[in-house]
Amino acid sequence: MFKRQALNLLEHPEKAKSWISTFDNVLCDCDGVLWLYDKEIEGSVKVVNRLKQIGKGVYFATNNSTKTRPEFLEKAIRMGFNMKEDEILSTAYTAAQYLKNRNFNKKVYVIGSTGITKELDAVGIKHTGVGPDYLETNLANFLNNKFEQDDEVGAVIVGFDEYFSFPKMTRAASYLSKPNSIFIATNTDERFPMPNFVVPGTGSIVKAIETCAERSAVVMGKPNANMCEPLLVDGKITPERTLMVGDRCNTDILFGNNCGFQTLLVGTGIHNLDDVSCYKKSNDEETHKLIPDAYLPKFGDLLQFLL
Ligand SMILES: [Mg+2]
């Protein structure tokens, strides 16, 4: 309706009200839209629950690989969100499903957390690697005494790993040099939305592994359209009548545009209207895919337009 205009809905309330009827389903990013860590972003519970009340379908698409779907659900319900497990699309879940659908019967080397390994356990796939793995003395000692390759490993999944280390990088790249090994990244987010620090995100780790493995990963998360495939296959959503809400243009908004959805950027996370102004000045068609249709300072601001 406002195709790639980044229309500030607060300045156009009448347009915003009529726009609501142009979508049936909403896909929400979580970190930076609904919550920041364990704290709800003001108004997000009310707006999600109200959207459902007026008959919109709401799905939750998160690139965060550190939690399983039941763990996401528990966190959301604790905050007051009306949410069900089958409304959650997480990258750890999608990665496990990806291997299951390809009848993968070997072991996975995981750079990541129990968010990934629990989803692998749920589909009966063996795994190794999760937890601390640091260089005790030096590289020579590690290579000669600590590094034994597991012949059963046939895939590497890379997600967020706070214990990421030189030994982990060496193991992953070595497994990825095997012919026919599968290389999956949960997502490519560069950093976490935090006010005073730069915390490296999964994308930083993925780039490191891709560089030393000399090959590219299959990415499960946004902006890859893989993320919403289950919803499209089951006919649960119609792309042009679906709204994607996110705080990050190069994942959420690009994902929405890649899938043919309408898009709403909220200013409670990574990107804001200043970033969008830069994209608008670009002559590059790919950069224009980062421009949202609409903008709100926070997701909760949508509530006033939901009659
Ligand atoms: Mg986000």
- pLDDT tens digits, residue range 157-167? 999 999 999 99
User: For residue 193, is pLDDT > 90?
Assistant: no
Please give the distance, rounded to the nearest whole angstrom, from the Cα atom of residue 64 to the centre of ligand 1.
9
pLDDT recorded at residue 233 = 73
The active-site residue out of 24, 31, 275, 284 is 31
User: For residue 98, is pLDDT > 90?
Assistant: no
Q: Where are the beta strands (DSSP E) in the chain?
A: 7-8, 25-28, 35-36, 39-40, 57-62, 88-90, 107-111, 126-128, 153-158, 182-185, 191-192, 199-200, 218-219, 242-246, 262-266, 294-296
pLDDT recorded at residue 252 = 96
- pLDDT tens digits, residue range 26-39? 999 999 999 998 89
Please give the distance, rounded to the nearest whole angstrom, from the Cα atom of residue 45 to the centre of ligand 1.
16
Classified by CATH at the fold level, domain 92-219 comes out as: Rossmann fold (3.40.50)
**Distance separating alpha carbons of residues 225 and 91, to the nearest angstrom:** 12
pLDDT band at 94 (very low <50, low <70, confident <90, very high): confident
Parse the chain into domains and list their residue ranges: 7-63+257-305, 92-219
- pLDDT tens digits, residue range 208-239? 999 999 999 999 989 998 888 778 877 899 99
pLDDT band at 293 (very low <50, low <70, confident <90, very high): very high
**Distance separating alpha carbons of residues 249 and 251, to the nearest angstrom:** 6
What backbone phi and psi angles, to 5 degrees, belong to 102? -105, 15
User: For residue 307, is pLDDT > 80?
Assistant: no
Query: Which CATH architecture describes the domain 7-63+257-305?
Result: 3-Layer(aba) Sandwich (3.40)
Please give the distance, rounded to the nearest whole angstrom, from the Cα atom of residue 66 to the centre of ligand 1.
14
Note if the bond before 223 is cis, omega within 30 degrees.
Answer: yes
Please give the distance, rounded to the nearest whole angstrom, from the Cα atom of residue 150 to the centre of ligand 1.
36
- pLDDT tens digits, residue range 50-69? 999 999 999 999 888 778 88
In the three-class reduction of DSSP (H, G, I as helix; E, B as strand; rest coil), residue 104 is classed as coil
- pLDDT tens digits, residue range 101-117? 889 999 999 999 999 99
**Distance separating alpha carbons of residues 194 and 36, to the nearest angstrom:** 8
User: For residue 130, is pLDDT > 90?
Assistant: yes
Q: Which residues surround ligand 1, an ion (CB under 5 A)?
A: 29, 31-32, 247, 269
Fold matches, 7-63+257-305 and 92-219: yes
133 is catalytic: no
161 is catalytic: no
The active-site residue out of 24, 29, 151, 252 is 29
Please give the distance, rounded to the nearest whole angstrom, from the Cα atom of residue 186 to the centre of ligand 1.
14
**Tokens 């009848």 correspond to what residue?**
103
Please give the distance, rounded to the nearest whole angstrom, from the Cα atom of residue 57 to the centre of ligand 1.
20
Considering Cα of 208, then 214, then 217, then 223, what sign does the dihedral take?
A: positive
If you average pLDDT over every residue of the chain, what do you get?
94
Task: Count Cα neighbours of 72 within 13 Å in the Cβ-side half-sphere.
Answer: 31
